[in-house]
Amino acid sequence: METSIEIEVRPTEIDVMGHVNNAKYLEYMEWGREDWYNKVGLPFDEFTGMNIGTVTVNININYRKEARLGERLTVNTVPLRKGRTSYVLRHVIDNERGERVADADVTSVTIDLKTRKSVPVPDALAEPFEK
């Protein structure tokens, strides 16, 4: 399942170069992941109820074009692949002109909240990767 959110670039997200600070793109992608989890029926409390946490272990991000104050950005999130204890979500950020601003593959691992050790991806999370 692919999801999409829209963001308007705010003054607090701009750096001294006059464009979105590189770290803000990671936040935009995190918002996209949270939206994806919610739309596939796995809000935070569902994970907690399963005694499962998700930990980001790798992000490979490509900064393609600067975004500036007031621009509207769309963050698309799509499941890419799933392993035994890890999975990858792809984020693509485009501006209102349809130009690619940034994209990234984000690898996360599922962990047992008590032991803090990796565990197999639960069926409820694996399902969106199989469609």
Query: Which member of 15, 35, 45, 103 is catalytic?
Result: 15
pTM to 2 decimal places:
0.94
Q: How many domains does the chain have?
A: 1
List the CATH number of the domain containing 67: 3.10.129.10
Q: Taking 80 as the threshold, does the pLDDT of residue 131 lie above it?
A: no
Q: Are 106 and 93 in contact (CB under 8 A)?
A: no
Per-residue pLDDT tens digits for 30-57: 999 999 999 999 999 999 999 999 999 9
What is the rounded distance in angstroms from the CA atom of residue 121 to the CA atom of residue 83? 8
What is the rounded distance in angstroms from the CA atom of residue 119 to the CA atom of residue 131? 22
Per-residue pLDDT tens digits for 74-105: 999 999 999 999 999 999 999 999 999 999 99
Q: Is 102 left (phi over 0), alpha (psi -120 to 50) or beta?
A: beta
| Parent domain of 93 | 3-130
Known active-site residue 15: yes
Start-to-end CA span in the chain (Å)? 7
Average pLDDT over every residue of 3-20: 97
